[in-house]
Amino acid sequence: MRRPTVASIELTTHSSEETIARGREIGARLKPRVLVLLSGDLGAGKTTLTKGIVSGIGAATEDEVTSPTFTLVHRYDHEARVYHVDLYRISGLHDLETLGLEDVFSEDAVVIVEWPERFALRVDWPVVRIQLEHVAEDTRRISIVDDENVLR
């Protein structure tokens, strides 16, 4: 009997540059119509990792990627399309609807979401779950769960 394989990857980085480099490797493996969920406390490194992911996808350079803390959604659209969403300030369905995410999920894009536990998005796209933990000043643990073998 074949069982679904569950790929999980654990890595540790010791600087934001190293986190960006790991993000770039992840991004290079992502093709449109993937949802990337980034969990972790404030300052864990979700936006930093996103800089690498977006640049690995080819949607923007790492310097162009900034936190969507107040704007809530950023779109990067060079060689491929990425939406970077921050749900930290989303307090309900009404707020979520103002983001216009339904339209986003009909596009050929990669969607990266910070604070995904704030609001459960229902999408039938494959999901990559990434948890970032603050271990020490410049040390972060990054745990990736890739149930659907998106990064294979």
Ligand X SMILES: Nc1ncnc2c1ncn2[C@@H]1O[C@H](COP(=O)(O)OP(=O)(O)OP(=O)(O)O)[C@@H](O)[C@H]1O
Q: Provide the minimum distance between the beta carbon of 103 and Mg ion in the complex, in angstroms, as a whole number.
A: 23
Asked whether position 47 contacts Mg ion by CB under 5 A, the answer is yes
User: What is the contact surface with ligand X in residues (CB under 6 A)?
Assistant: 13-16, 18-19, 40, 42-48, 67, 114, 138-140
How many residues of this chain interact with Mg ion, rule: CB under 5 A?
4
Q: Round to whole Å and give the CA distance between 86 and 84.
A: 7
Residues in Cβ contact with 34 at an 8 Å cutoff, skipping those fewer than 6 apart: 110, 111, 125, 126, 127, 128, 150
**Residue 67 vs 143, nearer CB to ligand X:** 67
**Residue 46 vs 74, nearer CB to Mg ion:** 46
**Residue 13 vs 47, nearer CB to Mg ion:** 47
Contact of residue 131 among Mg ion, ligand X, none (CB under 5-8 Å per partner type)? none
Buried b (16+ CB within 10 A) or exposed e, 97-121: eebebeebbeeebbbbbbbbebbeb
